[in-house]
Structure 1
Amino acid sequence: MEQEFDLVKDCSQKILAINDTMEILNGKWKMSIIACLCYKPMRYSELLKEVKGISGKMLSRELKDLEINELIERHVLNTAPVAVEYQITHYGKSLKQLTNTIADWGFIHRQRIISGMKNTIE
């Protein structure tokens, strides 16, 4: 009986942790932004080109939210005109394995769906 309670408690704690994570990483764009910045610091315009389909307004909003959650840092560069560069924080780098896992799953899923579509057509 006690083991069963511990399993339910563990499950509840995991669900709470997942909900917390999803709250921070919610939306369509945050994981893509984090994945880009895991590889190199990027300027706003570079991110806008790299994250296909995101609007400028949405990118600004997502960058601010990621900065508030200490996952990225914003650096104003001493250039003319002034440029802003974003980079992943040490804390944000802890998400790199998660982005790789999600990407790996996405590759497998895409191939599975495409294969299934081919089989249906034939």
Structure 2
Amino acid sequence: MIRNEVLPNRQECAGSLRNVIDALYVLNGKWKLALILSLVQSSKRFNEIQKEVSGISAKVLAKELKDLELNDFITRNVYPTTPVSIIYEATGYSQTLKSVIGELSAWGGQHREKVKQSMRKQS
């Protein structure tokens, strides 16, 4: 416990909890943030996304892209070529996750090191 730190009241805690639940509801699953990160780097076709985000099946990718489009994180642009070209790109709203992704990346790196250290101690 940290001394002299003002603890949030019950109402503030409940509000924070609701906010976290809402965020996790929209970004649930192991693929959504990876897909957003992939598309923030550059616009891509379906197959390009599937190659870059290894391990995701076509069925899951299609569902996740629909969910991200519904929540305004990406746009699906259809071009009337033969055959039809579909390009996915991140929206400006995706940029609002930049600090979240950065923090998760930093934490993930710390956690990976912690796991490595724990494994060394066990050997």
1:69 maps to amino acid: N
Q: Whole-Å Cα distance in 2 between the matches of residues 85 and 115 of structure 1?
A: 42
Structure 2 counterpart of 1:74: 76
Query: Unpaired segments of 5 or more residues in structure 1?
Result: none
Structure 2 counterpart of 1:114: 116
Identity in percent? 36
- Residue aligned with 1:52, SS: coil
- Residue aligned with 1:86, SS: strand
Q: Whole-Å Cα distance in 1 between the matches of residues 108 and 81 of structure 2?
A: 39
Tell me which of 13, 34, 44 is aligned to 2:15. 13
Q: How many residues align?
A: 118
Structure 2 counterpart of 1:56: 58
- Residue aligned with 1:16, SS: helix
Query: What value does the CA root-mean-square deviation take over the aligned residues?
Result: 1.7
Structure 2 counterpart of 1:39: 41
Structure 1 counterpart of 2:98: 96
Q: Deviations over 1:18-57 (max 9, x none)?
A: 1011110011110110111121111111110111111000
Q: Deviations over 1:42-85 (max 9, x none)?
A: 11111101111110000000000000011111112344322211
| Between structures 1 and 2, the one with greater helix share | 1
2:118 maps to amino acid: G
1:43 maps to amino acid: R
Q: Whole-Å Cα distance in 1 between the matches of residues 14 and 110 of structure 2?
A: 29
Q: Whole-Å Cα distance in 2 between the matches of residues 57 and 90 of structure 1?
A: 26
- Residue aligned with 2:89, SS: strand
- Residue aligned with 1:42, SS: coil
